[in-house]
Chains A and B, each alone.
Chain A
Amino acid sequence: MKLREIAHSRTGDKGNISNISVIAYDKKDYPLLLAQVTSERVKAHFAGVVEGEVIRYEVPTIAALNFVMDRALGGGVTRSLALDAHGKSLSSALLDLDIEPASGEK
Chain B
Amino acid sequence: MRTIRIGSGAGYSGDRIEPALELAEKGDIQYLVFECLGERTVALAQQARMKNPDSGYDPLLEERMRAVLPACAARGIKIVTNMGAANPEAAARKTAEIARSLGLPALKIAAVVGDDVLDACKQGDLPIMEFDGTIKQLGNRLLSANAYLGAEPMAQALSGGADVVITGRASDPALFLAPMIHAFGWAMDDWNLLGQGTVAGHLLECAGQITGGYFADPPYKDVEGLARLGFPIGEVGEDGALVITKVAGSGGAVTARTCKEQLLYEVHDPKRYIQPDVVADFSQVRVEEIAPDRVRVSGGRGSERTGTLKVSVGYLDSFIGEGQMSYAGPGALARGKLALEIVRERLKLTGVAASELRFDLIGLDSLHGPEISARANEPYEVRIRVAGRTENLREAVRIGNEVETLYTNGPAGGGGAFKSARDVVAVASVLLPRERAMPQVRFVGA
Residues of chain A whose beta carbon lies under 8 Å from any beta carbon of chain B: 4, 8-10, 12-17, 19, 21, 23, 25, 45-49, 57, 59, 61-62, 64, 66, 68, 74-79, 81-84, 88-90, 92-93
- Let me know if A79 and B426 touch, CB within 8 A: yes
- Let me know if A89 and B367 touch, CB within 8 A: yes
- 1/0 per residue, CB under 8 A from A, across B354-372: the answer is 0011101010001111111
Distance in Å: Cβ of A12 to nearest Cβ of chain B: 3
Chain B's closest residue to A21 (CB) is B264
B378 at the interface (CB under 8 A from A): no
How far, in angstroms, from A2 to B296 measured CA to CA in the complex? 31
* Cβ 8 A contact of B366, one of A47, A77, A83: A83
Chain A residues near B388: list those with CB within 8 A.
Answer: 81
- Let me know if A21 and B261 touch, CB within 8 A: yes
How far, in angstroms, from A92 to B368 measured CA to CA in the complex? 10
Distance in Å: Cβ of B131 to nearest Cβ of chain A: 8
How far, in angstroms, from A68 to B428 measured CA to CA in the complex? 18
Chain B residues near A15: list those with CB within 8 A.
Answer: 39, 129-130, 427-429
- Let me know if A76 and B370 touch, CB within 8 A: no
How far, in angstroms, from A49 to B424 measured CA to CA in the complex? 22
Distance in Å: Cβ of A104 to nearest Cβ of chain B: 23
Could you show 20 A-B contacts with beta carbons less than 8 Å apart?
A10-B214, A10-B261, A15-B129, A15-B130, A15-B429, A23-B257, A48-B369, A48-B371, A48-B372, A49-B368, A57-B269, A61-B284, A68-B269, A76-B426, A79-B317, A81-B357, A81-B358, A81-B387, A82-B366, A92-B217
Q: Which of A25, A66, A74, A93 has the most CB of B within 10 A?
A: A66
B282 at the interface (CB under 8 A from A): yes
- Let me know if A16 and B130 touch, CB within 8 A: yes
Chain A's closest residue to B368 (CB) is A93
- Given A8-B261, A61-B299, A82-B358: A19 touches B368 (CB 8 Å cut-off): no
- Let me know if B362 and A83 touch, CB within 8 A: yes
Chain B residues near A78: list those with CB within 8 A.
Answer: 39-40, 317, 424-427
- Let me know if A59 and B39 touch, CB within 8 A: no
Chain B residues near A64: list those with CB within 8 A.
Answer: 260, 264
Distance in Å: Cβ of B204 to nearest Cβ of chain A: 15
- Given A78-B40, A83-B360, A89-B367: A61 touches B283 (CB 8 Å cut-off): yes
Distance in Å: Cβ of A91 to nearest Cβ of chain B: 9
* Cβ 8 A contact of A79, one of B129, B318, B429: B318
- Let me know if B358 and A23 touch, CB within 8 A: no
Chain A's closest residue to B324 (CB) is A83
- Let me know if A8 and B387 touch, CB within 8 A: no
- Given A45-B372, A48-B370, A49-B369: A10 touches B424 (CB 8 Å cut-off): no
- Given A21-B265, A62-B260: A79 touches B424 (CB 8 Å cut-off): yes
How far, in angstroms, from A45 to B269 measured CA to CA in the complex? 22
Chain B's closest residue to A10 (CB) is B261
Chain A's closest residue to B282 (CB) is A59
Chain B's closest residue to A4 (CB) is B220
- Let me know if A12 and B257 touch, CB within 8 A: no
How far, in angstroms, from A66 to B260 measured CA to CA in the complex? 11
- Let me know if B265 and A10 touch, CB within 8 A: yes
Distance in Å: Cβ of B201 to nearest Cβ of chain A: 15
B249-267 interface with A by 8 A CB criterion? 257, 260-267
B215-240 interface with A by 8 A CB criterion? 215, 217, 220-221
B335 at the interface (CB under 8 A from A): no
Chain B residues near A25: list those with CB within 8 A.
Answer: 257
Chain B residues near A17: list those with CB within 8 A.
Answer: 268
Chain B residues near A79: list those with CB within 8 A.
Answer: 317-318, 389, 424, 426
How far, in angstroms, from A100 to B276 measured CA to CA in the complex? 43
How far, in angstroms, from A59 to B428 measured CA to CA in the complex? 29
How far, in angstroms, from A13 to B425 measured CA to CA in the complex? 17
Distance in Å: Cβ of B291 to nearest Cβ of chain A: 19
B100 at the interface (CB under 8 A from A): no
Distance in Å: Cβ of A36 to nearest Cβ of chain B: 18
How far, in angstroms, from A8 to B220 measured CA to CA in the complex? 9
How far, in angstroms, from A74 to B357 measured CA to CA in the complex? 11
- 1/0 per residue, CB under 8 A from A, across B292-333: the answer is 000000010000000000000000011010000000000000
How far, in angstroms, from A14 to B264 measured CA to CA in the complex? 13
Chain B residues near A59: list those with CB within 8 A.
Answer: 264, 270, 282-283, 285
How far, in angstroms, from A21 to B264 measured CA to CA in the complex? 6
B169 at the interface (CB under 8 A from A): no
Chain B residues near A66: list those with CB within 8 A.
Answer: 264, 267-268, 270
Chain A residues near B39: list those with CB within 8 A.
Answer: 15, 77-78
- Given A23-B260, A57-B270: A12 touches B265 (CB 8 Å cut-off): yes
- Let me know if A62 and B285 touch, CB within 8 A: yes
Known interface pairs A15-B130, A19-B266, A84-B366; 11 further A-B residue pairs with C-beta atoms within 8 A, sorted by A's residue number = A23-B261, A59-B282, A68-B268, A78-B39, A78-B426, A81-B320, A81-B356, A83-B367, A83-B385, A93-B368, A93-B372
How far, in angstroms, from A21 to B425 measured CA to CA in the complex? 29
Chain B's closest residue to A60 (CB) is B283
